[in-house]
């Protein structure tokens, strides 16, 4: 089983988008039984809050439902629980290292590292560009799925 935790600052925009996009891709590939996919925040600012409405609308435009998702914080114990901890930007990665006490098993990566254009997923909370975030999250999740399951095209 591939256990993946997507992580961003507040767990209301980028990481839940990645969580539900990845769940959708895995379901369409018939691989649901081989994956556990969730998301979390590096901060406590949004804990308990639902997915931010513009992010929820962007997912819904593509037939993806994220109802019931509530923001939660990354825990030190998540490092042992998950195979991969995927951050959206370098600030997230630094916070992930602090919360988890480092990355001794090489589990922490940026989502865009799984694409042909590595970098960061810009935070739409600040950019207000949920389409760009959607495109980056989708490309990252497609690349991640291809990396974890090379037979999927």
Q: Which of 13, 14, 56, 78 is catalytic?
A: 14
Strand locations in the chain (E): 2-8, 35-41, 84-87, 108-110
Report the C-alpha gap between 3 and 141 in whole angstroms: 14
Please work out, in degrees rounded to the nearest 5, the angle formed at the alpha carbon of residue 109 by the alpha carbons of 24 and 72: 60
The verdict on whether 123 is a catalytic residue reads yes
**Whether the Cβ atoms of residue 33 and residue 51 lie closer than 8 Å to each other:** no
**Active-site entry in 8, 13, 66, 141:** 8
Q: Is 116 a catalytic residue?
A: no
In the set 56, 89, 123, 141, the catalytic residue is 123
Q: Is 14 annotated in the active site?
A: yes
CA gap 129, 113 in Å, rounded: 21
Catalytic residues: 8, 14, 123
């Amino acid at each position: 089983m591939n256990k993946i935790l997507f992580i961003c600052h507040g767990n209301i925009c980028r990481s839940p988008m990645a969580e539900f996009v990845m769940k959708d891709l895995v379901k369409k590939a018939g691989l649901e039984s081989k994956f556990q996919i969730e998301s979390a925040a590096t901060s406590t600012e949004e804990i308990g809050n639902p997915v931010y409405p513009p992010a929820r609308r962007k997912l819904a435009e593509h037939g993806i439902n994220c109802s019931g998702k509530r923001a939660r914080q990354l825990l030190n114990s998540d490092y042992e629980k998950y195979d991969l901890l995927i951050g959206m930007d370098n600030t997230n990665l630094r916070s992930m290292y602090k919360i988890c006490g480092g990355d001794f098993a090489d589990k922490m990566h940026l989502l865009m590292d799984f694409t042909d254009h590595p970098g960061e997923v810009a935070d739409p909370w600040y950019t207000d560009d949920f389409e760009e975030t959607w495109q980056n999250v989708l490309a990252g999740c497609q690349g991640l799925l291809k990396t974890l399951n090379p037979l999927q095209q």
